[in-house]
Amino acid sequence: MVKTRFAPSPTGYLHVGGARTALFSWLYARHCGGQFVLRIEDTDRERSTQPAIDAILESMQWLDLSWDEGPYYQTKRFDRYKEVIDELIAKGHAYKCYCSKERLEAMREEQMKEGKKPRYDGHCRHDETQHSADEPYVVRFRNPDTGTVAFDDMVKGHIEFQNSELDDFIIQRSDGTPTYNFCVVVDDFDMGITHVIRGDDHVNNTPRQINLYKAMGAAVPVFGHLAMILGDDGTKLSKRHGAVSVMQYREDGYLPEALLNYLVRLGWSHGDQELFSREQMIELFTPEAITKSASSFNTKKLNWINAQYIKTLPVEQLAAELLWHMEREGLNKDNGPDPVLVVKAYAERCQTLKEMAQKARCYYEDFSEYDAAGVKKWIKEGSIEVLERSLAALEGLESWDAASIDKVLEELAASMEIGMGKVGQPLRLAMTGTPTSPGIGDTMLLVGRERTYARIKQAIEHFSK
Ligand code: GLU
């Protein structure tokens, strides 16, 4: 059975690169009917934080990338790592290294001077000296001296390293804590991981890890290294490019469905199809279609995808996410229409739900200011009369629905022999404080009957001055 994992280091929020790695691992497991493991790689105690762990879990949940096992925490597995290290030492695959900092530095300097790549010289491999119990040491893996390490990467194809290029890397630091390259192998082995999908910043670690698997007598998993994500400007994606943390995308009004859809296309394709439901992604995701080259983040495209989802997802689902944004905007949902109505009226008009929540402010809060340019353009001599007659017509309405409102206002425009714009625009200003809103009937429906009357009266008073 295929078993994949996502293994973030909790040293910061989950950024889009990490989320893409998580998505691809998750998709591959789901596509194969396998399992997906979440593991928090928190051995670097200085840089790992609880808020970062919380942010990772929150992001995974928001994206709905569910895991079958975990979250495992490496800090809870120290006994196991110790056990494997002792075993490796006993079998001669690892050894204690007592080399001082000074010696290592001198060695490095010497190697650099000779134009060689700095690497540990294996000095303590055959160390016969007696060491006192309190003398500090690290544990190094005894890497083979000759031969090659090769693997067939799911994305990059055949990759080969010379063992002579690799040195005896540290698997346990002098403070007794195990290192990443070691823990990751023990974990992936213990957890039965069959496919390791991760960023290609780890390609150079892979041969070391493969040698460790072999020393442990463990089966080597299949590796798939994903190419980097670049910013719009071709440089490595970073904070400079705007939002990079998954939860910031939520704050900015993106839907998890849209972000996932956007991320799946960053380095994977299926013909020229752009929109994929979660089910389609799972069905169609094959590693053969993962691209070898780096992909560039494109905010315009993300906005377009988000807009598509706002147009097509069930309104109740959108309303729930809109409510989250309304709360962030300080809007009281009890002081206005059902958010489902806002979604219905605005789904075609917004790229993000944050934008929608901001546009909805006027339906939940009264205001006394009007958009100056709109007023200048639309409030003319006859506007007060238009507002007064609109009020009278609307007060006479039997049924308060969008079609009836539109109809009575169209009739008014016709009877006054003026264009609908001259009726609708002053009313929009009265309803929302701005000259842009959905159809006037829908807008008034959102404002509500009594409030519509009150706002027209307020506008008459305001514009009469
Ligand atoms: N913890 C590593 C990282 O966050 C990932 C390790 C792996 O996937 O092998 O970069």
Model confidence pLDDT, tens digit, residues 276-289: 999 999 999 999 99
Q: Where are the domains of the chain?
A: 1-67+227-312, 79-172, 314-363, 372-464
CA of 209 to the centre of ligand 1 (A): 12
DSSP for 88-116, written as a single string: HHHTTSEEEE---HHHHHHHHHHHHHTTP
From the number of C-beta atoms within 10 Å of its C-beta (0-12, 13-18, 19+), residue 288 rates as exposed
Exactly one of 76, 239, 292, 380 is catalytic; name it: 239
Q: Is any ligand 1 atom within 6 A of the Cβ of residue 184?
A: yes
Is the shortest distance between the CB of 8 and ligand 1 below 6 Å?
yes
* Encoded tokens for 99: 């080399």
202: Cβ below 6 Å to ligand 1? yes
| Helix runs in 64-196, H state only | 78-90, 101-113, 180-190
| 161 three-state secondary structure | strand
Q: With 90 as the cut, is the pLDDT of residue 349 above it?
A: yes
Give the distance (Å) from ligand 1 centre to CA of residue 8.
5
Q: Which helix (H) or strand (E) holds 463?
A: helix 449-464
pLDDT of 243 reads: 62
Cα–ligand 1 centroid distance for 225 (angstroms): 11
What CATH class has 79-172? alpha beta
Whole-number Å distance between alpha carbons of 229 and 294 = 6
Listed residue (198, 190, 193) closest to 287, CA to CA: 198
405 contacts 440 by C-beta, under 8 angstroms: yes
* Dist CA 217 CA 416 (whole Å): 90
Give the domain 1-67+227-312 fold: Rossmann fold (3.40.50)
Active site (annotated) includes residue 239: yes
CATH of segment(s) 372-464: 1.10.10.350
Contacts of residue 69, Cβ cutoff 8 Å, sequence gap at least 6: 35, 36, 37, 38, 191
Q: What is the mean pLDDT of the chain?
A: 96
What are the CA-CA distances from residue 353 to residues 346, 357, 364, 380, 433 (Å)? 10, 6, 16, 34, 20
User: pLDDT tens across 218-232, in order?
Assistant: 999 999 999 999 988
Tell me whether residue 117 is annotated as binding: no
Per-residue pLDDT tens digits for 230-289: 988 888 887 777 668 999 999 999 999 999 999 999 999 999 999 999 999 999 999 999
Is 116 annotated in a binding site? The answer is: no
| Cis peptide bond upstream of 71, omega within 30 | yes
Task: Note the pLDDT tens digit of each residue in 105-160.
Answer: 999 999 999 998 889 999 999 988 899 999 999 999 999 999 999 999 999 999 99
Give just the sign of the alpha carbon dihedral 127, 133, 138, 142. Answer: positive
Residue 200 CA to residue 292 CA, distance in Å, equals 10
Is 97 known to sit in a ligand binding site? yes
**Across 43-47, 85-89, 101-105, 319-323, least confident range:** 43-47
Q: Is 124 annotated as a binding residue?
A: yes
**Is the CB–ligand 1 distance for residue 142 below 6 Å?**
no
